[in-house]
Every structure is written in C-alpha cells, then in structure tokens.
Amino acid sequence: MKYALEIGEKLGASQVEVFGANSLSRNVEAEKNEIKIATSKKFRAIGIRVLYNGGIGFSYTATLTKDAVEKSLKEAISVAKLRGKDPYYKSFPSTEKITRVQGIFFRETAEMPLETMVQDLIDMIKITLDYDKRITSVSAGYSVGVSEKYILNSLGIDLEEKYASSSIGVFSVAEESGQMTSGYEFQAERNVEKLDIEKVALTAAEMTIKLLNPRKIETAVMNVLLKPLAVANLLGPTLVRSLRADNVQEKRSFLVGKLGSRIAVDGLTIIDNALLPEGLSSRSFDDEGVASKKIKIIENGILKSYLHNSYTAQRGNVENTGHASRGPLSEPSISPSNLIIEFKEKKEAEKIISETDKGVIANSLIGAHTANPVTGEFSVALGEVFYIESGEIKYPVRQAMIGGNILEILEKINFLGKDKRQIDSVFTGTISFQNVTVSA
Amino acid sequence: MKDVLRKIVDKAIEFGAEYADARYERIFSTNITFSNDKIEKISTGMNEGIGIRVLANGAFSFLSSNILNIDDLLRQLKDSVKSAKFFGEKRKEKIKLADVKTVKDKVVVKSLNPPQEYPLEDKVSFISELVKNSRSLDTHVVNATAIIADSHTYKILVTSEGTEIRYEIPRVYFGLDVVAFEAGRSAWFGIRKASPGGYEFIKKFSPEDISKEVVEKALKMLKAKPAPAGRFTVVADNDLTGVFIHEAFGHACEGDIVAAGESILKGKLGQKVGSELVTVHDDSTIPNGWGSLKYDDEGVPTQKRVLVEKGYLKTFITNRESAYKLDLPPNGGGRAQNYSFPPLVRMSNTYIQPGDYSKEELFEDIKYGVYLLGSRGGQVDTAKGTFQFNAKEAYLIEKGEITTPLLDVSLSGYTLEVLSNVDAIGKDFDLWPGFCGKGGQAVPAGTGGPHIRIKNAIVGGKK
C-alpha cells in the first residue's frame, strides 16, 4: 500500500494516510433446539485520508488496484478542497514506540473447526434443555472472527496488528401453565479455549427457570443492583458518549467544562486500559497508529481525562490519549478501549445482596440506547429483575423501570461487586445504587 | 452480473444443494455531518458484494464477500454446501421453504435527482443552512448538528428456482439536532426525515421552518421537569404510536420468532389480544413508504398484512421458512440489511388504523396524565412480552390541559395487556421513517398511526 502514499503526494497532498482492514467472521446459529445456519463473512477495504492545502479529505475503496486507489485519492483531495483549510488540524500522528499488548490473537480461535463449533452448540442446547423440563425452546450461537488492521502514513507510521475474537450465547424459553419467560447468557473471549460451554448453558437455564411466575411490585424508593451487563447498558449511551472529546468540543456532552471536577461519588475510579492482556477492546495502537496507554478517566469521582483522537487532541492542544476508532469506510471517530470500573467498597456480589434490606437486582436494561446522550437523562426498563427483601432474593418482578440522570445515579453507588466481567468496553462487577425510585 | 449469479446458484445445486439464492448489491453512499461551523465527518464511496445462501439436506449455510473473485467464491461455496449437509445430519426436522411462484422483474424506485448525480456541494449547503439557521435563532443554542445520508442501491437476486429480480432503490435521509444551554443545564432535541427516491425530497422542506421547530422544542426542553414515576394515562402522538405498536406488538408477530417458540403470541392466532378499537397493519405496499418494497430479499411479492383486526390476532409476518413451519402463506417479510447478511423476518410500515376521536376528545377526560411525542426508539423482549419505548418530548396533562414539559420519559408495558388498555383512538394519521435493528441488522422501517390514549401505562420517571 506504500504506493498510495507516493501517488497521493504526487497529486499534491502534503500528507497521506491509509487505514486498511481485512476480516473473516464465521458463525453458527441454532434455533428451536436445532442447528440452523452457518454464515461466513469476508470483508476488506481501505480508507484513505489526505491533508491538502490544510484541508482534510477522505474516501474509501474496496477495490485495491492501483487505478482504484488513485481514483480514491483524487476523491479524497476533492473532499479536502470542499472542506477548506481546517483551523486546528496540522498533521496526522507521527511514529512513536509501540508496546505490543499480549493475548489479542490466538491461532486456536482463528482455526476453530466448524465441526467443533457445531458439537459445542449441540452440547449447549442439550445441557440447557436437560436442566428443567419446563424449558421448551433454546436458541444458541457460536462466533469466531479474525481481523487485521494496518495503518501507513506519510510521517512513517507503518503498523499492522491481528486480532481474534470468539463468543457463545444461549437464549432459552420456559413455559409453565400458559406463561412464558426467557433467560440468556453469553461469553466473549479472545481465546476460544476459554469459552465455558457448560457454565454459559447452565447460567441461561437457571436464569430462565428462576424468572417463571413473576410478581408485580409497588412503585417505591429502594436499592437497585445492576449486574455487569446492565452497568454496561447504562454507561454506554450516556457516560461513554459524553467522555468523547469530539462531543465535548462540540458541546454535545454533559461533561463540558467538568474536567477536574467531581462528577461521581468519591471512591469511583474508571481507568481506560487498552493494554489489558486478552481484553476484548485491547490494541497496541489506536486506529490512527497512536500508541496505546493506560489512562485515568475518573479518579475518586474526579473527571481526569476525556477520550481523544489526533483531531480533538490538536484542537484542544492536549496530549492524544489514543482513542481513534474507525472502520475503513469512515473517518476516525472516538471510542474507549477497556473501561475498568473500580470502587473503594468492594464485596462479593452475594454479600451485597445479603446486606440489601429492600431492592431489586437486574441483569440488563431494556431500551438503554434511547437515553439522552447530551444531557445524560435516561428512562429504561429493567431486564431479568428479582426483588430482594431482608438480604434474600424473593421472586422475579414482572415490570420495573428506573429513570433519572446518569450523574445523579453515579452519586448513589455504595458497593461494587467482585463478580467482574467485561461486556463490550466496560469491565465491571455488579454495582449497587442506593435510594433509587423504581416505577412498577 | 446476473449470469455470474446464475452460475453460482447452478453450481450450488451441482454441489448438492436443494435450493440456493445469490444476491449481488452495489451501494453508492454519502454520509455528511455538519456541526456548528464545519463539516465534521464526510464519507463517500461505493461498496459491493455478493451473499449466497444454500439449503442442503434441510439446513442453511450462508457466505458473503466483497472480494468478487468468482473462483474464490465457488471454492467457498463448495465448503458452504458441505457445511449445510453436515448440519442437516444433525437436525431432526428438515428446514423446508413454502412454495412461491418464480418472478422475473425489474423494479426501479424513481428519483428525479438521483443521489449519485446530486452535487456534493449542494448536499453540504443544505445541512449547513439548517445549522446556520438554528444557531442564529437563539443565543442559547450551543450546538447544531445536521446530517445528510443517501444511498443508491442496485440489487440483483437470482434463485435456483428461476426467480430473477433487479432492484434499484435510492434513499435520502437527513436530520437536525440542537443542543440548548442555560444556567448550567442543557437540553437536546432533534428530528429525522427520510424517503425513498432522490434529492427532490429535500426540496419539500424549508430549512428555516425545520430549524425553527427544532430550536423551539430544544428551548422548551430547557424548562422541563423530572417526570413522575408510576402508572398513568398516556396520550401518544402519531410518531410515538408508531414506535409503540412496532415495539409492543410488531416484533412479537415476526414469523421466525413465533416459529422458534420465542414469541408470547405463538399459538394465539384468532384469539383476542386487545381492545376492539385496535386494528394493526404491516403494509409493505404503501406508495413511497420508507419501509415499502415490492419484493422481499427472497423474491417474494410483499403485501399489506392485517396483524390485528378489531382486537383479534389475524396473521404473522413470514418469510418462506417460517411460513412453511407455521402453515401460513409466505407474505414477503424476509429482508436483509445488505448482501452480507441472510434475510430475517422484518416489519415494513407498521401502524394502528385511525379511529374516530378528535384530539380534544382524547385529552378532555384526563385529570392527570402524560402526553408523549416522538421517539428515539425502543426495545422488546418478545418471549417475556415486556417492552420499553422512549419519547423525545413529554408534557404533563392536568385536567385535560397540556401543561409542564417533562424530561426524557419512557414507557414500559406488557404485550398481552397493553392493547386492551388502548381506550381511545384518534382520527388523525401520519407515518414516520426509522431504522429497526434485529440480529445485528438494521433495515428501514416505517411506523405510525393516529394519536391514541393508553390507560395504566408504566412511566419510568424519577419520583
């Protein structure tokens, strides 16, 4: 792809950057207790950026012939002309020392045979169905994928990295005296050998059966315990979106002007660590080739840093935190890597439940994506909810909702569970929030 | 390209498949974001690829690639057929497809100003105008962001049964979001407009009027108070009624979910599921509808489906596989986001039929309730029958009058109860564009209806 840099410079660009991606994902799905479909998806493309007369241009192509690349470069230059000189952006990133993160590619994942995936799915279905005869229908999925990204630019960046990922999931339905309910569980790992078929199937089955015969509760103020999936559901569309420096600079964030001030309960610390071994969002460098590092986002409730890419860092005149994120078909955006949630009061999740006098515990949030990303207001239904009284889980709850502002609810954290797991970018245990109004 | 696809499906049969379909798509698209004083993001280009689905020994296999090398594709296809056969051995029940007539047709959705030919400068100037107008209207506006996105898709579907459909569909989509800020507090409001066709669509709008509407609403939201929590009588506007029926009911009518035993509506055809005031349609044939299609991605002609008639569950939305399993006619509900996905059962344009209440009549008996308008979407758990959907704009209703604006409000409910709680239906009607997500695929889906009144809805408020 070096020729793209040469052609671009010949066409008059002062700097050129190529971001390429190749991926192959394979997936097997089962529905209603039977294997249904295998899919395989191959994709490759490059995104080309240029700096031309101080303006940023972009274009992409999936055809990688010299002619197609030249055409794409010309399109990028015409976009740069249309945009005009950018007042903030001077240069693409330059080379720096890269620390290679461990555990992001596993041959075992890349070479996982289809036959094994199918047998594992059949086993998962059997384990789930055998758990209880009230379980009537099981769907399950198994995915493995490999991807490779490469970045080259006129300042000498020439990097590539390979990633592997794998995941399994089980969804089961139970029926009893005309009533229906469902439960599920999933696991995602870089290393396919860490997937625990039996545990995932049993967890889904157990959750499903426990959710039978839900009861109504009354609207009241109580403790709300959110399991890791629910925490990730809550933070993704609210806090994470507002941490992006592009949203802050464009005033589309509720964290504008809050750097250095307290935004959450004292004792809450959030670290973004792209170098976490085997982390699902780990990478040695971001999607502009900037070295990954460990960044404190929130420390004891104080907002320490936003998430930057090269554009927002130059505009804000601050150090680039290395959070550029993109596919080849678009310009770089910003996203976190592994967001690690820490809290001063940590306990076993069971202990948090046993110390809860009155509350609910929810596995997920339904409709979290409808939260207001600019103000942090949310109003969501709780998914897979149980009522807790006097330290014991009493019964499943049919309907419950919570609403409010993310910064207000972050003030209400009183415990973090030790049951840590990673969901997308968020690495957390169960979090307990005190005095939350639950509508029912 | 049609001959290449024909060769592919013939090869699939030669490799031992019972059925095969191949879809080629070439998608030209442009996406531009204009924020405050500059083009924040711009992306323009072409993406093409092929998706091949085979049914062999009663099981499916699907492959897709954007590397259009026929030898490479045929090598993968051979493995793909082999995988399906292997799956078939593991299945007790073979997958079968409901019979359909083969079709040879060419469909062109007309555009006077096709997206590919409309100058990039003019696309930019339309959204920069929206942004400039919004910022000049009020000093409390701290950000205005407008987006414009278009696509021009050329599809060819070839099946081993003989169906050959060429389809050309342009689409244009734009939106404006405004952030207002006053005394330490911010508010956000936005709108989205979309249509199949070309850039003639945007000429129907006055950028001044759009900016004015969005800015006014954002400023109103600055004064909003936290919503109450608990059960209330709710009035939903057209837009929200559409999202409500889509989430609360439409998803549970999707044939694949029903056939998998994962919908609370399974086995309930012909039964009463709601008030006799309620009639629900999913209609793929609305002229120029956002979710309209003449044929689905299995080549089946689409239709107007009556899901609920006067409170009784009438039919489900089906693709060929679920139609066979449920013993229903295939009604053209198999849609894929693009060539890289196999089709799933999807809604098209889903709406509640208008009734006979005037807007005033809907409100006049409400002592204390909530009026909800517009939506940022929702989510449903079809097996439990619980759903949530969010409103963009909300007000208290006190003694029949619309009063205080409320901060972000959502409703939650229970599919089997909620249609019985609809106790009044307005006579107005409107349809709105949106995107619906399922199984990692997003497709254009229209939603709408009249204003409706719902009793006893759970509002997720703060106090």
Query: In degrees rounded to 5, what are phi and psi of residue B460?
Result: -90, 80
Q: Work out the average pLDDT over A174-202.
A: 96
- Joined together, the tokens standing for residue A406 give 């993310």
Asked if the Cβ–Cβ distance from A439 to B60 is below 8 Å, we say no
Nearest-Å Rg of the Cα atoms of chain B is 24
Q: Work out the average pLDDT over B162-174.
A: 98
Side-chain half-sphere of A79: how many Cα atoms within 13 Å? Answer: 27
pLDDT per position as a tens digit, A279-313 = 999 999 999 999 999 999 999 999 999 999 999 99
Asked if the Cβ–Cβ distance from B66 to A83 is below 8 Å, we say no
For B117, other C-beta atoms within 10 Å of its C-beta total 10
Reported as type and span, the H/E element at residue A339 is strand A339-343
Asked if the Cβ–Cβ distance from A366 to B407 is below 8 Å, we say no
- Joined together, the tokens standing for residue A183 give 């439960």
Give B-chain residues touching A43 at CB under 8 angstroms.
49, 65-66, 340
Asked if the Cβ–Cβ distance from A381 to B387 is below 8 Å, we say yes
CA–CA dist B362, B354 (Å, integer)? 13
CA distances from A306 to A239, A312, A382 (A): 11, 10, 29
The conformational region for residue A92 under phi > 0 = left, psi -120 to 50 = alpha, else beta, is beta
pLDDT at B416 over 90: no
The residue with tokens 């889509």 is B246
Give A-chain residues touching B377 at CB under 8 angstroms.
367, 369-370
Asked if the Cβ–Cβ distance from B458 to A86 is below 8 Å, we say no
B189, B326, B182: which is closest to B257 by C-alpha? B326
Per-chain mean pLDDT for chain B: 95
DSSP state of B253: G
- Joined together, the tokens standing for residue A268 give 């809450």
Which chain A residue lies closest to B35 (C-alpha atoms)? A250
Q: Work out the average pLDDT over B271-283.
A: 96
| Closest partner CB to A330 (pick from B41, B226, B261) | B41
Q: Work out the average pLDDT over A25-43.
A: 96
Give B-chain residues touching A41 at CB under 8 angstroms.
63-65, 340
Q: Work out the average pLDDT over A395-399.
A: 94
Write down the pLDDT at residue B131. Answer: 98
The residue with tokens 């693709």 is B319
Give B-chain residues touching A250 at CB under 8 angstroms.
35-36, 40, 143, 145
Q: What percentage of residues in chain A have a pLDDT greater than 90? A: 97
Write down the pLDDT at residue B463. Answer: 66
A390, A423, A346: which is closest to A222 by C-alpha? A390
CA–CA dist B327, A242 (Å, integer)? 49
| Closest partner CB to B179 (pick from A182, A219, A251) | A251
Closest CA–CA distance from residue B389 to any residue of chain A (Å): 7
Give B-chain residues touching A331 at CB under 8 angstroms.
41-43
Residue type, B411: L
Asked if the Cβ–Cβ distance from B35 to A250 is below 8 Å, we say yes
Nearest-Å Rg of the Cα atoms of chain A is 24
pLDDT per position as a tens digit, B14-66 = 999 999 999 999 999 999 999 999 999 999 989 999 999 999 999 999 999 99
CA distances from B162 to A152, A392, B23, B78, B165 (A): 47, 62, 13, 21, 10
pTM here? Answer: 0.94
Q: Work out the average pLDDT over A312-335.
A: 97
SS3 assignment, position B109? coil
- On whether the CB atoms of residues B173 and B192 are closer than 8 A, the answer is yes
Note the Cα A169 to chain centre separation in Å. 17
pLDDT per position as a tens digit, B174-203 = 999 999 999 888 999 999 999 999 999 999
ipTM: 0.93
Q: How many interchain CB pairs under 8 A, A with B?
A: 249
pLDDT at B209 over 80: yes
SS3 assignment, position B401? strand
3-class SS string, B355-387:
CCECHHHHHHCCCEEEEEECCCEEEEECCCCEE
| Closest partner CB to A173 (pick from B83, B177, B262) | B262
Query: In degrees rounded to 5, what are phi and psi of residue B54?
Result: -125, 150
CA distances from A69 to A1, A20, A47, A155, A212 (A): 9, 12, 10, 19, 58
Q: How confident is the model at residue B67 (pLDDT cuts 50, 70, 90)?
A: very high
Query: In degrees rounded to 5, what are phi and psi of residue B255?
Result: -55, -35
A152, A150, A149: which is closest to A9 by C-alpha? A152
SS3 assignment, position B34? strand
Write down the pLDDT at residue A412. Answer: 97
Write down the pLDDT at residue A34. Answer: 95
Asked if the Cβ–Cβ distance from A381 to B340 is below 8 Å, we say no
CA–CA dist A313, A308 (Å, integer)? 6
CA–CA dist A156, A152 (Å, integer)? 7
SS3 assignment, position A44? strand
For B191, other C-beta atoms within 10 Å of its C-beta total 18
- On whether the CB atoms of residues B170 and B152 are closer than 8 A, the answer is yes
- On whether the CB atoms of residues B21 and B11 are closer than 8 A, the answer is no
Domains of chain A: 2-210 (3.30.2290.10), 214-440 (no CATH)
Domains of chain B: 2-222 (3.30.2290.10), 230-459 (no CATH)
Reported as type and span, the H/E element at residue B159 is strand B141-159
| Closest partner CB to A42 (pick from B31, B67, B142) | B67
Alpha helix positions (H), B223-335: 238-245, 255-259, 320-326
CA–CA dist B426, B356 (Å, integer)? 6
Reported as type and span, the H/E element at residue B78 is helix B70-90
| Closest partner CB to A180 (pick from B260, B375, B383) | B383
- Joined together, the tokens standing for residue B322 give 């679920």
Q: How confident is the model at residue B150 (pLDDT cuts 50, 70, 90)?
A: very high
Q: Work out the average pLDDT over A143-156.
A: 98
Q: Work out the average pLDDT over B96-103.
A: 97
CA–CA dist A171, A203 (Å, integer)? 10
Write down the pLDDT at residue B98. Answer: 98
SS3 assignment, position B219? helix
- The bridge status of strand B164-182 relative to strand B104-108 is parallel
For A248-326, list the strands marked E by DSSP: 268-273, 294-299, 302-303, 324-325
Give B-chain residues touching A377 at CB under 8 angstroms.
407-408
Angle CA(B344)–CA(A207)–CA(A402) in degrees, nearest 5?
Answer: 80
Which residues are B181's β-sheet partners?
Answer: B186
- Joined together, the tokens standing for residue A253 give 């964030």
Q: Work out the average pLDDT over A404-433.
A: 96
Per-chain mean pLDDT for chain A: 96
Asked if the Cβ–Cβ distance from B63 to A171 is below 8 Å, we say no
DSSP state of B252: G
- The bridge status of strand A358-366 relative to strand A220-226 is parallel
Which chain B residue lies closest to A364 (C-alpha atoms)? B381
Asked if the Cβ–Cβ distance from A40 to B63 is below 8 Å, we say yes
Q: Work out the average pLDDT over B129-136.
A: 98
The residue with tokens 């399109």 is A75
The conformational region for residue B439 under phi > 0 = left, psi -120 to 50 = alpha, else beta, is left
Write down the pLDDT at residue B460. Answer: 79
Asked if the Cβ–Cβ distance from B384 to A82 is below 8 Å, we say no
Residue type, B209: D
CA–CA dist B291, B332 (Å, integer)? 12
Write down the pLDDT at residue B56. Answer: 97
SS3 assignment, position B53? strand
> Quick one: B335 exposed, middle or buried, by C-beta within 10 A (0-12, 13-18, 19+)?
buried
| Closest partner CB to A370 (pick from B46, B410, B462) | B410
Write down the pLDDT at residue A129. Answer: 98
Asked if the Cβ–Cβ distance from A330 to B65 is below 8 Å, we say no
pLDDT at B461 over 80: no
Closest CA–CA distance from residue B410 to any residue of chain A (Å): 5
- On whether the CB atoms of residues B215 and B224 are closer than 8 A, the answer is no
pLDDT at B462 over 80: no
Interface-testing mutation among B127, B390, B406, with chain A (most A C-beta atoms within 10 A): B390
Q: How confident is the model at residue B145 (pLDDT cuts 50, 70, 90)?
A: very high
